[in-house]
């Protein structure tokens, strides 16, 4: 098999209901690579278990995440869609790269500090070393480009450092990946705390808009969104709530910041928040409909999982054969 296209890899955890932040910042952008790149999109269930999961819920969300990939426009004929744990080479390479990742590097990861604070009763080794597994996910496919959110930039830089370190010791083994961060929807913020990223694990349900929320729920949440005492609809660092709403409205309508500001000049926050809610709900309606159709056909989702895992494993075997040989394992 001759591979003449550059390779894109990304993954989403099945550890909660996906938000419009996941949609606008990641999944919606994935399909733009489908024609010009060889694309691998993974449901990263191994990463999900760094936090305790209810087994039945993890299984259900694994199906749901795959269905959401497809509902958001990822054609299984153009993209390799698979579940991480179905390709054991991820775990194998993850352990190997643990041995080429420095303790100090892992201790500087801001997400480890954040998650340790949130899950103080379960600060496990996997939570500490999962950036090495993330590096394995990426390097296993000789990935050229990784679409990431701004909060994952530190992990991508570590993946690059690990690849270069390994290549320096053993010669050319891994492609050193580049990151792709969408400049227009880099970070969607909480509706209740607009200085914090929108998080699917936020206990305040009004702070988060989920991809599968009903239209009524979406509009209700936007009506409650935090703005500020000033009534001007303007994108500014000192107006994080309004700026976040402008970003979301622009993402769903395709309008620039300037166009949004002109459209709502002289109008109140009430009108603006309702318009944002309706644009979001209308934009997500086709996704929700296609998701429901896909979830009703579990056999098709399982066929996609199997086909994707088979293809991913083919590429993974080529990399692992090279890695094993270079480090001295006996085939």
Residue 200 known to be catalytic? yes
In the chain, the number of structural domains is: 2
pTM of this structure = 0.88
pLDDT (tens digit per residue) in 158-189: 999 999 999 999 999 999 999 987 665 568 99
Torsion of CA 223, 211, 9, 156, to 10 degrees: 30
Active-site residue, from 6, 78, 197, 223: 197
Indicate which residue of 115, 221, 239, 273 is catalytic.
115
Give yes or no: residues 17 and 123 share one domain: yes
284 and 312 within one domain: no
Catalytic residue among 200, 223, 318, 326: 200
Per the listing, tokens 């795959």 go with: 66
The pLDDT score that the predictor gives to residue 1 is 44
141 and 48 assigned to the same domain: yes
Does 219 lie in the same domain as 167? no
**pLDDT tens column, 261-284:** 999 998 999 999 999 999 999 999
Same domain, 172 and 277: no
Q: What CATH number corresponds to the domain at position 222?
A: 1.10.240.10
Q: How far apart are CA 10 and CA 137, in angstroms?
A: 8
Range of the domain at 280: 205-291
> Can you tell me the distance from the alpha carbon of 25 to that of 40, in angstroms, rounded to the nearest whole number?
17
Which whole number is the average pLDDT over 98-126?
A: 82
Query: Does the annotation count 197 as an active-site position?
Result: yes
Tens of pLDDT along 25-37? 888 888 889 999 9
Give the tens place of pLDDT for each residue, 282-301.
999 999 999 999 999 999 99
- Six token digits for residue 105: 């590097």
Q: Is the distance from CB of 135 to CB of 162 less than 8 angstroms?
A: yes
User: 93 and 55 share a domain?
Assistant: yes
Are both 75 and 223 inside the same structural domain? no
Among the listed residues 49, 124, 115, 138, the one whose alpha carbon sits nearest the alpha carbon of residue 85: 49
The per-residue pLDDT of the chain, averaged, comes to 91
- Catalytic residue at 153? no
């Amino acid at each position: 098999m001759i591979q003449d296209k550059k390779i894109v890899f990304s993954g989403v955890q099945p550890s909660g209901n996906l938000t419009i932040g996941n949609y606008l910042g990641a999944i919606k952008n994935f399909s733009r690579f489908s024609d010009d790149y060889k694309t691998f999109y993974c449901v990263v269930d191994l990463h999900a278990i760094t936090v305790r999961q209810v087994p039945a819920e993890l299984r259900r969300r694994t199906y749901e995440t795959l269905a959401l990939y497809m509902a958001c426009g990822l054609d299984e004929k153009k993209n390799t869609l698979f579940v991480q744990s179905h390709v054991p080479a991820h775990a194998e390479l993850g352990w190997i790269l643990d041995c080429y990742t420095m303790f100090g590097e892992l201790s500087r990861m801001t997400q480890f500090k954040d998650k340790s604070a949130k899950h103080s009763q379960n600060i496990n080794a996997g939570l500490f070393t999962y950036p090495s597994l993330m590096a394995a996910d990426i390097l296993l496919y000789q990935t050229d480009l990784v679409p990431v959110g701004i909060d994952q930039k530190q992990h991508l830089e570590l993946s690059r450092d690990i690849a270069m370190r390994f290549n320096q010791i053993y010669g050319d083994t891994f492609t050193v990946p580049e990151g792709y961060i969408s400049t227009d929807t880099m970070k969607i913020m909480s509706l209740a705390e607009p200085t914090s990223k929108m998080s699917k694990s936020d206990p305040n349900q009004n702070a988060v808009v989920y991809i599968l929320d009903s239209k009524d729920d979406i509009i209700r949440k936007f009506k409650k969104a935090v703005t500020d005492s000033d009534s001007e609809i303007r994108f500014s660092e000192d107006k994080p709530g309004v700026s976040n709403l402008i970003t979301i409205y622009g993402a769903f309508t395709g309008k620039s910041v300037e166009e949004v500001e002109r459209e709502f000049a002289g109008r109140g926050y009430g009108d603006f928040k309702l318009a944002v809610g309706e644009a979001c709900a209308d934009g997500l309606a086709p996704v929700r409909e296609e998701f429901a159709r896909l979830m009703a056909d579990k056999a098709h989702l399982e066929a996609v999982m199997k086909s994707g895992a088979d293809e991913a494993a083919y590429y993974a075997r080529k990399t692992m054969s090279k890695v094993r040989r270079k480090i001295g394992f006996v085939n």
